[in-house]
Chain A
Amino acid sequence: MQIECVNEVNISFPSKSSNESFARAAISAFVSQLDPTIDEITDIKTAVSEAVTNCIAHAYKSGIGTIYINSKIFSNGKIVIKIKDKGTGMENVQQAMEPLFTTGGSERAGLGFAVMKSFMDKIKVSSKPDRGTTVTMEKSIIRRLAKSDR
């Protein structure tokens, strides 16, 4: 069976911290059509919150910029979420992804990427200094129907 994209949403908004809750609520509303469990929704909301917070607290640290989210649902129950900014970018992506590494001061745990990695099935980060960062995350939602078939 061919896997195709069955639904897609694009959102963009200014990097104000009040939009963190909007972003995770919007994506959680979009993926709710797959009937995910509460755990799956919590995982997705948390991962989105981390990625958007990175855009606000790091990429656009010195001003307001635009955050772009694209999310796709595929016919096999896979969700792809792409979160993009045109901010400062990172010299060393690998270092930024290490647990406990942070440039955000003592109130930041440095666990954002660790959460994205462990709560989602797949994560890809591409970044260029002064150009911006794109985080692409995937998660497959176990479909209730398929479950009862077993």
Chain B
Amino acid sequence: MGIKVEMNRDTAVALVSGEIDHHSASEIREKIDNFVRTNNLKELILDFSKVSFMDTSGIGLILGRFKLARSLGVNFKVINIPEKMRRIINLSGIKNLGIFE
């Protein structure tokens, strides 16, 4: 599991890699939230292109960051969800939030 956050003007891109479960989600969450709270952002993008597995902890991670971003007036997007994770995303209903690209 890895998490790398990069800033490009006022957009932060968080590249998550490896497996997202209850164990790894807390570290990913802390890193992203610290970054979001200490930088002046207009947009937060979660890039899932390097995620190899996620269970519903990944859904919780996305939902939690969505809520945080919204409370701070930051735009929020999730990009590059791998094909094999589409099923869990669809099942969760978070597709309707309009945050996926």
Contacts and interface: CB of A to CB of B under 8 A. Distances in A.
Interface of A: 17-18, 20-21, 24, 38-39, 42-43, 45-46, 49-50, 53, 56-57, 106-109, 111-112, 114-115, 118-119
A115 B88 contact: yes
A111 B21 contact: no
A113 B13 CA distance: 32
A39 B46 CA distance: 24
B61 interface: yes
B22 A17 contact: yes
A107 B60 contact: yes
Interface of B: 19, 21-23, 25-26, 29, 53, 55-57, 59-61, 63-64, 67, 84, 87-88, 91-92
B55 A107 contact: no
A17 B55 CA distance: 14
A112 B56 contact: yes
A109 B87 CA distance: 15
Interface of A, helix, strand, loop or mixed by DSSP: helix
Contact of A115 (B19, B23, B55): B55
Contact of A107 (B19, B21, B29): B29
A53 B59 contact: no
A59 to B, nearest CB: 13
B22 A109 contact: no
Given A111-B91, A111-B92, A57 B56 contact: no
A46 to B, nearest CB: 5
- B19, B22, B26, B59, most chain A CB atoms within 10 A: B22
